[in-house]
Each structure stands twice: as C-alpha cells, then as structure tokens.
Structure 1
Amino acid sequence: MKVWKRVGTATRRAAGSRERALRASESLAAVTAALASLEALSTRRDTGAGELNDWRVLRGGLAEDAPVVARVLDALDSDRADKVFHAVRCALGIAVLLPGRGRTWDGIRLGADAGLSVLGMINQARSRYGGDGSDQAALQVHTAAALARAGGDAKSVDAGLWYLSLQGVLSYGVSGWVKLAGRPWREGVAVSGVMRTHTYGHEGVWKVLRRHPRLEKAATASMLAFESSYPLVYVAGPVVSAGYSAVAMAFHAANGVIMGLGRFVWGFAAFHPAIAYTTSGWSRGRDRSDTLPLVAGAVLATAVAGTAVDAVRRRMRVLDGPAYLSRLTTRRGSVLSYGGKQRGHRTIVFLVNALFATQDHFGWITGNLDRSESVDFITYDRAGYGASREAEGDAFRIEDAVADLVDLVTALTDPGQRVILAGHSYGGEVIRRAAETLPDGAVAGLVFLDATHPAQFAQSASQREGLKLVRDAQRQMGTLVRAGLGVFLDHPAWARRLPTPFRVNAERNYRDGRMWRAGARELRAVETELDVAAPPEIRLLPGVEGLVISASRTMADPDSARFQASLASTFGTQSDGAPVVFDATHDTLLTDALIAGDVTDRILEFVQRTEAA
C-alpha cells in the first residue's frame, strides 16, 4: 500500500510539471523492464530446448518475416549472451531510477531510455513473456522518453508526454470497445471464464463468481463502462481524470494479485503521470504545448478519408471481379460470377467453397486440374460473395444457395457430360442437397472436402459452441471491415499460401465487407436450419458415388471424426468405409500447394473411377 501511495503522490505531482511527469513515467517503466529481466535471469530453464522461450522455435516466424533481424539475434542464442543481455537491461533500468539532476543526468537518462527501447524491441522477438502488455507499455514509454529528451526543449517533452497520454487512454478505451464486441463480455460471463484458466485464473475468485453470477455481471458491466468511457478524461477535467487513474491503478493492482500479472501494474501505471499532465488545467496555463494532439487529429482525419477512399476503390474492384470471370443470372435473380475451363471433356467438376471464403481458395486445385487436361471444372462465388450479386429482397435459406448451384450446373453442363460436385466445409452441405435436387442420373459423384455434416451442430455440444465462436469472430471482423478498416488487417496466413493471382483477389475480398456480410447471412441460415432438434438426414443417392477427404486436425476432435466417418460410411468408396485423411488443417487442405496437389490427385482418381463405372 505504501508503494501505491507513492505512485499516486508522484502522479498528482506530475500534473503540474513536465519534467516530473516524464521522470515518473520513465521510472515506472524502468521498474517494469528491470523486473522483466530479473524474472528472465531467474527462469533459465525456459530457454532450453523445447521450452517456452527456446530461440530455435521463436525465430521461425521472425525468420520468415525478417530474416536479417533473425540472423542478427542469433548472436544472443547462448546462455552467457542471454545473461549479459538481461544484466545490461537491469543496469539501464537502475540508471533511469537514479535521483541525480542536471544536464549530465539528463544525458544519462536519455542514453538509458534509448538503450531500454532497443533492448525492449529485441526482447519482444526473443521472449514470450510480457505478452500481457506490460513490456509493450514499457517499450512505448522508453521510446517516447528518449525522443522527448533528445529534442532538448519543452515542446519535445510535451510532445512525448502527449504521445504517452494518448497511448495510455487509447489502451483502455480500445480494450473496452473490443470487449463490447465479444458475446461472453456482453453476457457478463467472461471474467469467470478467465478465472478458470491455469495461466491467469484464480480458483477462489472463480468460486465466488460462480456462486454469485449477479456480482460477475455487475463487475463486468462496470469494467466495460470504465474502459470504454476512458477517453472522456480529456473533456471532463483533472478531477475526473484523477478518479479514472485511481480506479485504473486499483484495477492493475487487483490483476497483479489475482492473475499474477505483477509487471502489468508498473507497466501501465507508467502512462498515468502523462495522462495527469495532459489533463491538468495547471499545466495548460504554464505554456504547455498541445501541438501533437492537433497534428494527431489532422493525421487521423486524413487517414479516415484515405481509408474511406481505399474502401470504395476496393469495393469497385470486388464487384468487377477478375477479368477471366463470367456471369450467370439464376431463376431467383442472383447473378453468379464463375470461372474455370470447359474443353468438352467427359466429366465436369463444380467446386463449392466454404463460409466466409471465395472461389480463390481453390486456386491450387484448379491449377492442377487445368494441367491434367482430363476434366472440365467450374468455380463460382455464391450470391453476395465477390462479384456475385444476391437477388433483390433475398431473405436467404440454404436451399437458395442450392437452387443457384442447380441453375449453374444445368446451364454449364454439356449434354451427356458427367457431373462431379465437390464442396469444402459448408460447401459440402450445399452439394449434398444439390445432388438430391438435380434430376436422377444428373450427378455422377460427390467429393466432400472436410465437409459439414448436417447433424453436427444439433448432436454435438462442442460443435455448437464452435459455431458460436465463429459467429462472434465474424461479427468482430465484419464490424472492422464495414468501418473501412480492412486495409489495416494483417495478411492472413491462408491467403499468403495461395497462388499469386488468387491471393490478390482473395485478400481483396477478405478486406471488404461484402464477404463478411454474405458469410454472416449464410451462418444465420446454418444456425436456423441445422442447429435444430431434428436436423436433415443424409442418405445414399442411387448411382452417385462419393469421396470423403478429411483433414487430420479435424479428425483429432472425437466429435468431428465421428461426423466425418458418418459421411464416409454413407458416401465414401473406401473399402473400409473411412474418410481419406491428409495431414492438414481445415484450410491447408486447399491452400497448401503440396497438400492441394495430393487432394487433386485423389479427385482425379475418383473421376476416373466414376467414368469407368
């Protein structure tokens, strides 16, 4: 408690002095950095082979994105070098904390802040510790403090303090806004979920919340209101700002005790002297420079305008689609964009994609089919995806997607040509229903690629919960892209694996709201029609052969394996009635070049078998 009283006193004193504010912020951050390195020195086993911070494992992702940096950091891959690294970091933290005054000491702190900034960035790449945000917060403070001191005047210090203030306030505000998008937080059950975990949980608190659900809901609502409203400190005045800081510090202290996030306390406390300084009327009256927030506002306005223009241009490109696509209007009024190759072969394969996916996902498979020169093939985007347009006033059911596919098959199949329908994930349910809808003898075979079983959500609690998680994730993503923020999304791993032309178009759709809106519409139909007491039954279709291909990651889940086996026992042509399993995930079954090549070979073998029947 004495420590926190001192922190509170330092924060209040910082409100009227830029130097005190800067000293308080960098000192709290220095404690964070020193504690981090002391913890690293005391847990040497975590750097051993196969342990949490094994560099040979950590460098994998870095070597892919920044190979030069990875090679430089290889020099620290020894026990001695690692000890020296953390000892230096501790020494620099102590240097910041020394109480000397004057230009010489300011120069020492400048050098120490700069050193801690560089070492902090290196440590981010070399350690999984600090992922709770404490090390990131300290890194922000040391970088801003170093730049502020390097400027050598009051305006530079004010700019640095404004940066830290804005960073701190946004860290709370954004945290609250993101939580609001999550179903468990809105329902008031997220905290008990966290308390049940081994890493951040606390059995005693979990038991209390379990016995008193109203207490958890009230605590969650209070947390969301507190975090989401934090930016109000800039308009509410210094008294309200001080109140918010007091609540925040108490919150961090509780997290330190309950969740074991000790450095979280010091790291985020480092923002509050800057927040106190920038929200204080006293500091404004002492010639405080407010240039940075004005510049930041102008930059933000420019960025908003830029992202809006970018979103409009992206939408136009999405609606135009690649030049090689053709269009077909269905009886329902949908306009489907489709591509492929038709050379008059005996068999034509229609490929149907998953939820929240476009025909670009089949890029490797269609390339392989094209090179085989043995089958015709068609890919398309369902209504609402890519350049495909939904019918006006379309309420949408799964049968609507089936009707569109039936029209596409009817229009593009030559007389006497054999039809194979292949569906990935949800696309598997679409092709199953389409085969039942098309005239007898129209479909020669069905290929299920890690496909949805119509009963999996109704008969499995884990599958039903997975469906809810997908819904929550897509709502968050959909909100982001509809707000025009798609340009800021990372490059998804599945898209990076696709062939270049397909990767470009897939990413364009990924960053556009149309794909997420269409996927959300289809997901609602899945929940309404499949998550029911009496889901549709699968049945063997006379004269229709089947191939069931599953990903090993999917088969690792007992419930998923059971449903894949059910599809295989009904439709599969394997002698043992089991699915063909590839060492893959749900996505890499299509997006990994080597795996997709093996999948294509299986499809071509299946085509040959149906043609020989």
Structure 2
Amino acid sequence: MARWPKLMRAVLSPPSVSRGAALSLSERLSATTHMVSSLEYLTTERDRRHGGLNNWQVNRDAFLTWSPALRKVLDLAARPRVTRTLHITRVGAAAVLLAPSPRAARVAANAVLSGTSLVLYPLNHYGTDGSDQVSFLVQSVTAIARAGERNPKTVDACLWFVALQSTLSYAVSGWVKMTSPTWRSGRALPGVMRTLTYGDRTAWELAHRHPRAARALCAGVLALECAFPAVFLAKGRAAPLMVGSAAVFHFANAGLMGLGRFLWSFVAMHPALLYAAGPREHTAADGRSERRDDALPLLALGLLAAGLGALQVEKGRQNRVLLQGRGDEREFTAASGNRLSYRRTGPNSTADDGTLPLVVLEHGLAATAEHWEWIAQGLSERFPVVTYNRAGYGRSTRAASGAATYDLDSAVDDLVDLIRHTAGDRPVVVAGHSLGGYLAFMAACRLPDRVVGCGLLDSSHPAELQRSSRQAQGQKILSDSLSSIATSVKFGMGALLSSPDWVSRLPEEVRHLVTAHYRDARIWEAGRREWQAVQEEFNSFDGKLPYPGVPMLVMTAGHTASQDPVQAELHAEFAAANVHSAHHIIDGADHDSVLTDRDTAAYVVTLMADFVANLGEAGTKEDSHDGRTS
C-alpha cells in the first residue's frame, strides 16, 4: 500500500526533462518511424509494380497540375532502382540518429530523412497516413534544432513547436470526435473493431459482450483528447499522466489496429511536450542549470488571439453581407410565424397580362436561393419567377427554435403559404432541386387547385434511404459532416472554409452572397436540422407515393443515373405520377452542375420553359433520354 502514494506523486509531479534529452529522444523516436516505414516499403515493392496500388504510371495522373519540373523529379524518384536506393539511404540515416553520432552527422541525417520524405510521399498514394506527416514534421524540426544547437533559444523554439503541434493534434481529434453521435454514444469502438481494415475479432467480441466497458473506453478517449491542453496547467503536473495515457492509447492501437508507425511517430512528440510542460528552470545531474526560453508560446498565443479576432471581424462582415442580401428581397410571414425572404423577377407589367404561370423555385438542403440564379434568370425572361430561402437560411428566420420542433411538413406548409401569397390568381408551377424537389412535390399534392405543373431537378425521393444502398451508406457521412461543419462554423471558423468549385461557376453578381451563406452557421444548422427530419421521414416511408394529379417534368443528372441507378428508377416513379409527365436524363451533369454550370442550366431552362409553356396543351406520357453532355 505504501507504493501507491509514491506512484501518485510520481504521476502527478511536474516532468523534469532537459533540453538535450528532449531533443535527442524526439529525434531518435522519429527516426525509428522512418526506419520502420522504409523497411516496410522495401519488403512491399510489388505495390509499385504494374497492377500494384502505388504503380506510378497510374498514380502520376493525380499530379498533372503540378509543375513539369516537380513531375520530372517524381518520375526519376519513381524508378525502381532510385526508389530502392532512397529507402536504403533512409534506413542508413535513421541508423545514424539511433547511434551516438556527432552533431554534423545528425544534422545531415535529419535533413536526408526530411528531404526524402517530401520526395517519396507522393509516390505512395495509397498507404500513407498521419504517422508519415507527424514523423516528417518532427524530423524537419529536429533538423533545424540540431543545426542551431549552439543557440538554446533556437532549440527551445523547435521543441515548443513540436509540443504545441502535439497538443493541437490530440485536442482537435477529440473535439472532432465529440461532434460524432457514434463516438458520444460509445458505438465507435465496436464499429471500428468490426471493420476489415482496422478490426480485431477478439476486441470486437469483448466490446460486444461488454457494452458498458466499451462506452466507458470511448468516453475515456474523448476525455483524454479533448482535455489534452491541460498538460500545461499547474506547471505540468498532469503532463506525465496525460502523456503516459496517450502512449498507452497508441500502443493499444498498434496491437489491435496494426497502426505500428503511429506509436513511434506520435510518441516522438512526447519528450518535447514534457520538456515544454515542465518547470522553466531545470538542473542537470552534473549540477548545471538551464532556463527554457518561452518566447514561441507567447508569440503563438498572440497570433492565436489576433487570428480569432480577425475571424470574428470576418464573421461580422459576412453577416452584414447576408443581411443586406440582393437589395430587392421582400418578406412574408407564414402561418407558422416563420419570416421568409423572397425575390420576384420576371416580365414587366406591359409584357404580362396576369395570366402567365408563376414559377416558384425551391432550393436543396444546405443550399440557398442563389443556387438557382442561372435558371431563374433564364426563366424570368418569359415567366414571373419566385425564389426564396427556407426558414433558418440567411435572412429567413424561424419562429421556433431547436430541431425537436421541426419536420418536413412545416417546410411544405411555409412553401404552400408563400405560393398563395405570391401567386394571386395566376396558375403556379413549383420546381425544386434535391430535397427541394421533394418539398415541391408535396406542395403540388396539397395545392391541386393552384399548381398546374411540378418540376423536379435531381430530386430526393422518400424511398431513397430504403432502396438505394448508395444513399443509405452515405447517411452517416453526411450526418457527421453537417455536424462537424456546423459546430466549427458556429465558433467563428467559417472564414477558414474555402469556397467550393461550383461557386465560381455561378453568375458573378451572386458569388459573394453565396460565399457568405456557405461560411455562415445558419446554413449548416438549417442543413443539420433538415437532414435529421429527412432521415426520420424517409426511413419510415411506407412506400405509398402521393399523386399530385398535375403534369410533371422530372430531370435526372447523368452522373446520378450512372452512379446510382436506383435513384434514376425512383425519379421515373415520380414521372409515373401523372400521364402528362416526362423524364429526362441530362448526360454529363452532376448533382450540382445541373444548377451551377451555365450551359447545363441553359438546357434545363429550355426544358422547363417548354414544359411551362405547353402545360395547357394535351400531352402524352413519355420517358425520354437526352444524350446531352454539358
């Protein structure tokens, strides 16, 4: 029993690691990662031969955008003899670092490992992981530290850099996991252990038989990673416990999941972390004292504060852009109390006698009215057009709060109210993209006396999660993505999101507004709320599709039809809802480009304009395929 107090004092005592020991240990542990990595590659040369996963003649196409000079270097390094020589050289350099060697040799060995990592990383397109990135970082920093070893401030800055990177990697990993319901519920461990790539049958059986223990273990991992910055509290008293727990975690991953390189690469950061978290004054065994230079963390804190401040300023600017909008929006309060922002465009009063159909466009999940801009511009040359944002998006606000009070019926109710408000005595054609297609379809079912036609553009279908394996398998990915993005953007990280490629394809006058939406928390919160409602409704769909009793124009993106034939079948079922309906497959278009690509959108405008213009004429049911490439 007397051992326990001693053990607790040892675990909770501030770490005492010297500058030289921290640098040497980090350097050697990282070198071990490189040695193991190169030995693995030397024994798996078949992966780089013809038909292998990392055959350069196939993978080099992924680097076509790189400069010709860099591609020539990679072509040279990809030659079997050169690749083999580089890996043998890396093993030798790692051996130099593991053995007692002079400073000049250690500087050169570190430089060799860092430089060859840069060259070889692209050649191993499949098989690289976080351990390769961490080992490159540690080896590069230790190379700088060794080169400037005569200046203690340089070494301390390097060790602090590694320590802060280590803390950040654990903390970010933990907080990302916190956004996942799978991790919070404790289902993550059994799920991972059941996979083919990282699974372990014995571990899975234990987790399956002891779910409480599995949940406790998941909670422990979350607690460790999320609280990892606490290593710097109380002069590092928690550092040995936190670092030791992390090392045990990596050791378990190495044994159960085969992530052996992760053990060496991440543990290589721990000596620097213990040095940085410990007392600033250190007395060596020979009685010499050294004082750690803490300029880098102070600089990092200053830059972090400045960065966070800049993010908040940018968040305010983006919010002003959203609230300003296009400048010609109108507002309408639905029966639900939701306040909807909408735009109405189209022929002027002299060109419209009040009999032209009103076209109402419904946007998709985590999208905005501006996604319709090319199509809205085209249609408004002939017909009055209404575009709007659903409640919770941009300037459109919800009267209620929280996801518990939301379902898709409430979105349809708002759309029905908006149609009645904006149509007057006109006939109405309602059209939607993605989730908006399903909402438009349901609105048409509720307003058979007002809606004379319905257009569905690569629409969602209530049976897709039950019948399409592609859609069903993507549920978790979409849920996790919406959750993590919504959380990060809520905390002001929206400015760090790079604009998707499709934004640059929209009309120039709306790009800034769409970018502001994309970087605003509201679009992601609304998307997450709607996706939860979609899952609840679609997963419980009874298979009975309502019939609106109006002609329908159903358009399927070619990529959707080829990658998910079941979705195309479901779209055909939409078209079968009325004898005067048509189903078009738009070759060359994907789920986004049917809206955002100018030429594809122009073709969609042609289909929709002809459909609207011919609604009063008798038609026959058709199911056509347009062999068109955008």
TM-score range, shorter chain: 0.7 to 0.9
Task: Identify the residue that residue 291 of structure 2 maps to in structure 1.
Answer: 287
Q: Which one of 359, 369, 376 corresponds to residue 349 of structure 1?
A: 359
Q: Runs in 1 of length 4+ with deviation above 6 angstroms?
A: 65-68, 458-462
Matched, 1:315 2:319: yes
Q: CA deviation at 1:328?
A: 3.2
Tell me if the contact between 1:554 and 1:585 (Cα under 8 Å) persists in the aligned partners: no
Matched, 1:34 2:35: yes
CA distance in 2, matches of 1:156, 1:424: 57
* Gap change, CA 1:72 and 1:385, over 3 Å in 2: farther
Task: Identify the residue that residue 507 of structure 1 maps to in structure 2.
Answer: 515
* Gap change, CA 1:474 and 1:580, over 3 Å in 2: same
* Gap change, CA 1:65 and 1:87, over 3 Å in 2: same
Matched, 1:338 2:350: no
CA distance in 2, matches of 1:213, 1:587: 42
Task: Identify the residue that residue 544 of structure 1 maps to in structure 2.
Answer: 551
Q: CA deviation at 1:611?
A: 5.3
Q: CA deviation at 1:408?
A: 4.2
Task: Describe the SS at the equivalent of 2:238.
Answer: helix
Task: Identify the residue that residue 117 of structure 2 maps to in structure 1.
Answer: 120
* Gap change, CA 1:165 and 1:29, over 3 Å in 2: same
* Gap change, CA 1:490 and 1:172, over 3 Å in 2: same
* Gap change, CA 1:45 and 1:458, over 3 Å in 2: closer
Matched, 1:566 2:573: yes
* Gap change, CA 1:283 and 1:256, over 3 Å in 2: farther
Task: Identify the residue that residue 484 of structure 2 maps to in structure 1.
Answer: 476
CA distance in 1, matches of 2:204, 2:409: 45
* Gap change, CA 1:597 and 1:84, over 3 Å in 2: farther
Tell me if the contact between 1:360 and 1:502 (Cα under 8 Å) persists in the aligned partners: yes
Alignment of 1:12-27 (within 5 A): 15-27=16-28
CA distance in 1, matches of 2:162, 2:592: 40
CA distance in 2, matches of 1:41, 1:503: 50
Q: Which of 593-602 and 22-31 deviates more?
A: 593-602
CA distance in 2, matches of 1:593, 1:43: 47
* Gap change, CA 1:74 and 1:401, over 3 Å in 2: same
Q: CA deviation at 1:516?
A: 1.7
Question: Partner letter of residue 564 of structure 1?
Answer: H
Q: Which one of 288, 300, 318 corresponds to residue 304 of structure 2?
A: 300
Task: Identify the residue that residue 207 of structure 1 maps to in structure 2.
Answer: 205
Matched, 1:110 2:107: yes
> How many matched pairs?
589
CA distance in 1, matches of 2:46, 2:504: 35
CA distance in 2, matches of 1:399, 1:328: 21
Task: Describe the SS at the equivalent of 1:388.
Answer: coil
Q: CA deviation at 1:411?
A: 5.2
CA distance in 2, matches of 1:56, 1:509: 41
Q: CA deviation at 1:297?
A: 1.1
Question: Partner letter of residue 358 of structure 1?
Answer: T
Task: Describe the SS at the equivalent of 1:385.
Answer: coil
Q: Percent identity?
A: 36
Q: CA deviation at 1:463?
A: 5.6
Task: Identify the residue that residue 140 of structure 1 maps to in structure 2.
Answer: 137
Give TM-score scaled by structure 2 length.
0.82
Alignment of 1:43-54 (within 5 A): 43-48=44-49, 51-54=52-55
Give TM-score scaled by structure 1 length.
0.85
Q: CA deviation at 1:270?
A: 0.6
CA distance in 2, matches of 1:502, 1:55: 42
Q: CA deviation at 1:540?
A: 2.9
Q: Which one of 484, 493, 499 corresponds to residue 491 of structure 1?
A: 499
Q: CA deviation at 1:310?
A: 1.1
Q: CA deviation at 1:398?
A: 3.4
Q: Which has the higher helix share?
A: 1
CA distance in 2, matches of 1:61, 1:515: 32
Task: Identify the residue that residue 412 of structure 2 maps to in structure 1.
Answer: 402
CA distance in 2, matches of 1:592, 1:273: 53
Question: Partner letter of residue 134 of structure 2?
Answer: A
Q: CA deviation at 1:214?
A: 2.2
Task: Describe the SS at the equivalent of 1:570.
Answer: coil
Measured against aligned partners, the alpha-carbon deviations of 1:109-128 in whole angstroms (never above 9, x if no partner) come to 22332343333234343323
Task: Identify the residue that residue 91 of structure 2 maps to in structure 1.
Answer: 90
CA distance in 2, matches of 1:132, 1:415: 62
Task: Identify the residue that residue 9 of structure 1 maps to in structure 2.
Answer: none
CA distance in 2, matches of 1:511, 1:357: 12
CA distance in 2, matches of 1:307, 1:289: 29
* Gap change, CA 1:348 and 1:74, over 3 Å in 2: farther
Q: CA deviation at 1:72?
A: 5.2
Measured against aligned partners, the alpha-carbon deviations of 1:470-492 in whole angstroms (never above 9, x if no partner) come to 34432221111110011122433
Tell me if the contact between 1:24 and 1:270 (Cα under 8 Å) persists in the aligned partners: yes
* Gap change, CA 1:481 and 1:120, over 3 Å in 2: same
Task: Describe the SS at the equivalent of 1:137.
Answer: helix
Question: Partner letter of residue 554 of structure 2?
Answer: L
Task: Identify the residue that residue 243 of structure 2 maps to in structure 1.
Answer: 245
CA distance in 2, matches of 1:91, 1:62: 29
Task: Describe the SS at the equivalent of 2:111.
Answer: helix
Q: CA deviation at 1:90?
A: 3.3
* Gap change, CA 1:204 and 1:493, over 3 Å in 2: farther
Q: CA deviation at 1:63?
A: 4.1
Tell me if the contact between 1:458 and 1:464 (Cα under 8 Å) persists in the aligned partners: yes
Task: Identify the residue that residue 8 of structure 1 maps to in structure 2.
Answer: none
Structure 1's unaligned 5+ residue stretches are: 1-11
Structure 2's unaligned 5+ residue stretches are: 1-12, 284-289, 619-630
Question: Partner letter of residue 544 of structure 1?
Answer: P
Tell me if the contact between 2:549 and 2:578 (Cα under 8 Å) persists in the aligned partners: no
Q: CA deviation at 1:245?
A: 2.4
Alignment of 1:50-449 (within 5 A): 51-55=52-56, 58-60=59-61, 62-64=63-65, 69-70=70-71, 73-100=74-101, 105-129=102-126, 131-151=128-148, 152-237=150-235, 240-281=238-279, 283-284=281-282, 286-323=290-327, 325-332=328-335, 334-338=339-343, 340-342=345-347, 344=351, 346-366=356-376, 369=379, 373-391=381-399, 396-410=406-420, 412-413=422-423, 419-438=428-447, 440=449, 442-449=450-457
Task: Describe the SS at the equivalent of 1:114.
Answer: helix
Q: Which of 538-547 and 22-31 deviates more?
A: 538-547
Tell me if the contact between 2:416 and 2:443 (Cα under 8 Å) persists in the aligned partners: yes
Tell me if the contact between 1:443 and 1:544 (Cα under 8 Å) persists in the aligned partners: no
Tell me if the contact between 2:495 and 2:519 (Cα under 8 Å) persists in the aligned partners: yes
Q: CA deviation at 1:43?
A: 2.3
Task: Describe the SS at the equivalent of 2:576.
Answer: helix
Measured against aligned partners, the alpha-carbon deviations of 1:127-157 in whole angstroms (never above 9, x if no partner) come to 2356431111111112221232343400110
CA distance in 2, matches of 1:15, 1:186: 35
Task: Describe the SS at the equivalent of 2:615.
Answer: helix
CA distance in 2, matches of 1:340, 1:381: 15
Task: Describe the SS at the equivalent of 1:53.
Answer: coil
Q: Which of 480-489 and 419-428 deviates more?
A: 419-428
CA distance in 1, matches of 2:93, 2:579: 65
CA distance in 2, matches of 1:407, 1:367: 24
CA distance in 1, matches of 2:598, 2:40: 43
CA distance in 2, matches of 1:67, 1:509: 38
CA distance in 2, matches of 1:126, 1:341: 55
